[in-house]
Amino acid sequence: MKCGDKVNLKNRIRKRSVNTRTNGNGRDEAELLPEKDHESLSDSLEENLDRIRASLGNSWDLAIRSIFLGSSGDIRVAVLHMNGLSDNKLISRFMESFMLNGKEVSLAGPGNEDGPAHTLRSLKDHLITLGTVEEKHDYKAILNCLLSGDSIILADRCDSVLVAATKGWDERGVQEASVQTVVRGPRESFSENLGTNIALLRRKIKSPSLWVETTTIGRITETNVSIAYVKWTVNEEVVDEVRRRLADIDIDGILESGNIEEWIQDKTFTPFPTMLNTERPDVVAANLLEGRVAIFVDGTPVVLLVPVVFMQFFQSPEDYYNRSDFGLLRMLRFVALFTTLLAPAVFISITTFHQEMLPPTLMISIASQRERVPFPAAVEAFLMEFTFELLREAGIRMPRAVGPAISIVGALVLGEAAVQAGIVSSAMVIIVSITAITSFVFPSFSMTIPIRFLRFVLMGLAAFCGLFGVFIGLIAINLHLCGLYSFGVPYMSPIAPTILGDQKDLFIRLPQWMMRKRPSFIGSPNKTRISQGEASSKFPSWQGDDGNR
Amino acid sequence: MLNNGKIGAYPFMVLVTMFIVGDALLYVPAWLASAAKQDAWIAALLCMAEGALLAILYNAVAKRFYPATIVEMSGIAFGKWAGAAVALFFIIFIVIDISFLLMETGDFVTTQMMPDMPVEVILILFSGIAVSAARRGVQTMSRSAESLFPWFVALYVIFVLFISPQIKLSRIEPVFHAGFIPVLHGSFKYLGNMEEVVILLMLFPFVKLPERGTKALFLGVLLGNFILSAFTAITILVMGSTLTTMFSYPSYALAQKISIGDFFQRIEAIMAFMWFITVFIKIAVCYFAASFGIAQLLKLPDYRIVTLPLGMITIVLGLQLVPNRPYFNQFASLFWTPYTLTFGQLLPLLLLGVALLRKSVGKEERV
């Protein structure tokens, strides 16, 4: 795949720059850990504890509890965990078991064949009252487990440790979706925990063909990243491509799925998102059923979906839950798209270049408003649009408590007073308000950002050469969109290339039973969504049997 | 997946249709009416038949030599040097065509839409996006055409619907008032536009299945001609032949007459979008054909390096070739059709003749 190669090259270039940076500072993570740290542990408990303490730089959240077990109390055992990452209840439960039955642990097994290793085995087999306990040798893996919240149990004269799964920390539970809200449909949204998120998805798709693969990305953060897909519907090529691009990422930290998105997107220099992000499990489930791949990142509720097309950013999950209205609401969204993109640009070009397009009365009304305004329409528009963007940005960043202050400043000072003072015309205030309202219509927030940006570009072109400039801008946007790909799928499909079968769910949404096929541009190997038999029994025979009653 | 550089039959048909409609939409009614008067619509229908015949000829050539472009074809048919000379003249033909198309756009915008705008600005902007379309390749170009086509159709239908209340059938009477000769004369002027379709043979090798491609070319020519004929008929029906002849851009004048309920009026600037869309596609296709042809002729590894210089050349060439509007009108109505006949009629016939005479020629190229 051509675009894949490009990504590969991009990553290679980036890798080189990352390497030079770390070498320059001399603080690569590999250098922080001495060479021997990749090897196994030593025999001495004290030495091992010192080594772990040294590796963590005597961090205060490392908790070490030493106890003595065995019939004569001569077997020294240490339990290590990180404060706050581990569930204290679980730890105290098996500590309790140690205290009560510790005397039964013997140094050597029957026949003395194993020596110290037997200590651990008897601990594991008889004393630890937990679901998952593993024996580990590799020092790096042990540290990793400790730092992810597991407890480490070391015993004297043992060069291996037990890892007990005691992960447990305070987290935000599953809450109502706050960004992508719906009137009808499930309320729950993803949380920050990867395990919870996958579980939320599995509760929607109970089939064994929902496969989840997990890798670790980020040399320092070691973030778990999972890709999920439905084996039955997914295009293997896409999965391979996702795996390959994820494997190419070489960075010190992944904190949010946005970090991943930037590394694996097809084209960097585009304002348009080529990956869909969502916080809703039902959206992820529906997309997986259509054959897409989901990328979960530990620590964020935002899940990425690939491959996506432009039109998907205008589809709300609710379109599928409400009765099919044959797309009236979707049409509204497309009208909003063009309004928010074009309203100020068209206003500028009509008032500056093409006054003849306005009916005389309207033109006189606008002209009389603009009489007092000292600026040309373009300056006025830029001023107001810029102010609105500032207000919107301030609305996101400001502390909650000052919210009312901002709205008063925005509505009264900038709207009312600016018109009163004769700085802007009220027609321009109306245009800016329409632009503002329509820009909030889109179900996907990531699509509003390019549209906000392009609105200013089009305003500039309109101020420069009127409707002709607007036309040039629109064609340029169209060309750019037509040249984009999302994981090998043309971004404008199914419009260009035209795929009539997939247009059933585009500007309009046909009733569910009419959409028998999955979208073909994704390349799902199993195209049929609805088996023929079920579809034909859509109209039961008792329909219209009034005469028989 | 769909990323293999080839295009399907439907996108090709859209390209052909929009190519034919191209710049013709704006002034073809005037040309036809100037010769055939109120029988302009008959002349347009006649052209549809001519177009169909031409499409059959082009299809025969394209299929015979698939997957060769015109430049490669002339190399195959006429040998190395003669072929290169023919190809060179063909490319010059495309470049001149681009210059005229650009100047038409520039003239139109500066005389009708924005009189204060220097024509150079319009030329640079318009050739800028057309060149950038050509640089993105056939696939992106065809996708762009596909996504713009519904907009074009919507604008066209709105136009026709809104103007239809002003239709008066008496304006085309009497039919055949001066016999058949003026009709032929009118269609001859229009033929020059149709012959330009030969440029699309540069794109034909990019069609995935040649059999369906030929069908697409034929249908595209018919559809494009239908759009133009219907438009000519409506122009005559609304404005009458005398008025149509007087305007240099009769369809723009027609759009100015639209008035729905005394509110929805003077929307000609929006209607101009319809024409911009098709002329943009036409120029972009021509840019691609010219630069791809130059790259093939000079055996360049990538045609993209030619596109930008070509864009600059065509702007200057356009400014030099067309000093003023009357000159252009004179040139277009007197010389353009004979000039295009050389490449649109003679060249394909020669290619086909050589291929038929030397039976092996072109055969091995078929897949």
Residue B1 placed within a domain = no
pLDDT given for residue B192 in this prediction: 83
Would the pLDDT of B15 be above 90? yes
**DSSP string covering B104-161, please?**
HHHHHIIIII-TTS-HHHHHHHHHHHHHHHHHTHHHHHHHHHHHHHHHHHHHHHHHHH
Q: Are residues A53 and A192 in the same domain?
A: no
CA distance A354 to B35: 34
Comparing C-alpha atoms, which of A503, A208, A286 is closest to residue B147? A503
Residue A367 placed within a domain = yes
Using a CB-CB distance cutoff of 8 angstroms, which residues of chain A are in contact with residue B280?
Answer: 475
pLDDT given for residue A510 in this prediction: 84
Query: For residue A384, which amino acid is it?
Result: M
pLDDT given for residue B66 in this prediction: 81
Pairwise CB contact (< 8 Å): A468 & B148: no
Number of domains in chain A: 3
- pLDDT tens digits, B281-294: 999 999 999 999 99
Would the pLDDT of A111 be above 80? no
How many Å lie between the alpha carbon of A242 and the closest alpha carbon of chain B?
15
pLDDT given for residue A484 in this prediction: 93
Q: Are residues A348 and A420 in the same domain?
A: yes
Q: Containing H/E element for A213?
A: strand A210-217
Pick the residue of B15, B112, B123, B125 with the most A CBs within 10 A to test the interface with A by mutation: B125
- pLDDT tens digits, A228-280: 999 989 999 999 999 999 999 999 999 999 999 999 999 889 999 999 999 99
Number of domains in chain B: 1
Would the pLDDT of A445 be above 70? yes
Nearest Cβ partner for A237 among B1, B113, B262: B1
Q: B315 with B172: CB under 8 angstroms?
A: no
Pairwise CB contact (< 8 Å): B125 & A472: yes
pLDDT given for residue B366 in this prediction: 45
Pairwise CB contact (< 8 Å): A2 & B117: no
Would the pLDDT of A539 be above 70? no
Residue B27 placed within a domain = yes
User: What residue of B is the nearest CA neighbor of A350?
Assistant: B269
Q: What is the mean pLDDT of residues A390-396?
A: 84
Pairwise CB contact (< 8 Å): A483 & B140: yes
pLDDT band for position A120 (cuts 50, 70, 90): confident
Q: How large is the ipTM?
A: 0.92
Q: Are residues A237 and A346 in the same domain?
A: no
**B154–chain A Cβ distance below 8 A for any pair:** no
Q: Are residues A139 and A262 in the same domain?
A: no
Residue B270 placed within a domain = yes
Residue A520 placed within a domain = no
| Other beta carbons less than 10 A from residue B176's beta carbon | 12
Residue A346 placed within a domain = yes
Using a CB-CB distance cutoff of 8 angstroms, which residues of chain A are in contact with residue B140?
Answer: 479, 482-483
Residues of chain A that touch chain B, judged by Cβ-Cβ distance less than 8 Å: 1-3, 237, 353-354, 356-357, 359, 465-469, 471-472, 475-476, 478-479, 481-483, 485, 488-490, 492-493, 495-498, 521, 523
Q: Are residues A217 and A351 in the same domain?
A: no
- pLDDT tens digits, A194-210: 999 999 999 999 999 99
CATH number at residue B83: 1.10.4160.10
Q: What is the mean pLDDT of chain A?
A: 83
- pLDDT tens digits, B320-360: 998 888 888 888 878 888 899 999 999 999 999 988 887 76
Residue A262 placed within a domain = yes
User: What residue of B is the nearest CA neighbor of A481?
Assistant: B144
Q: Are residues A373 and A272 in the same domain?
A: no
Residue B14 placed within a domain = yes
Q: How far is CA A364 from CA A181, A242, A339, A418, B111, in A?
A: 43, 59, 23, 21, 26
Q: Containing H/E element for B315?
A: helix B304-321
Q: Are residues A177 and A142 in the same domain?
A: no
Residue B82 placed within a domain = yes
pLDDT given for residue B153 in this prediction: 95
Q: Are residues A64 and A113 in the same domain?
A: yes
Pairwise CB contact (< 8 Å): B147 & A478: yes
- Give me the helices (H) in A161-273, please: 194-204, 236-247, 257-264
- pLDDT tens digits, B202-250: 999 999 888 999 999 999 999 999 999 999 999 999 988 888 888 888 8
Instruction: Show the domain range for B220.
Output: 9-344
| Other beta carbons less than 10 A from residue A543's beta carbon | 8
**DSSP string covering B220-250, please?**
HHHHHHHHHHHHHHHHHHHHHHHHHHH-SSH
Instruction: Show the domain range for A361.
Output: 330-486
- Dihedral angle of Cα B219, B224, B230, B233, to the nearest 10 degrees: -130
Q: Are residues A293 and A430 in the same domain?
A: no
Pick the residue of A498, A499, A500, A508 with the most B CBs within 10 A to test the interface with B by mutation: A498
How many Å lie between the alpha carbon of A290 and the closest alpha carbon of chain B?
16
Point out the domain boundary residue: A486, A507, A530.
A486
Q: Are residues A444 and A389 in the same domain?
A: yes
Q: Are residues A232 and A158 in the same domain?
A: no
Pairwise CB contact (< 8 Å): B265 & A485: no
pLDDT band for position A114 (cuts 50, 70, 90): low
| Other beta carbons less than 10 A from residue B270's beta carbon | 18
CA distance A58 to A518: 56
Residue A432 placed within a domain = yes
Q: Are residues A101 and A186 in the same domain?
A: no
Point out the domain boundary residue: A164, A188, A209.
A164
Residue B2 placed within a domain = no
Using a CB-CB distance cutoff of 8 angstroms, which residues of chain B are in contact with residue A490?
Answer: 2-3, 143
Residue B365 placed within a domain = no
Residue A519 placed within a domain = no
CA A118 from chain centre, in angstroms, equals: 46
Using a CB-CB distance cutoff of 8 angstroms, which residues of chain B are in contact with residue A498?
Answer: 10-11, 146
- pLDDT tens digits, B67-88: 888 999 999 888 889 999 999 9
Residue B352 placed within a domain = no
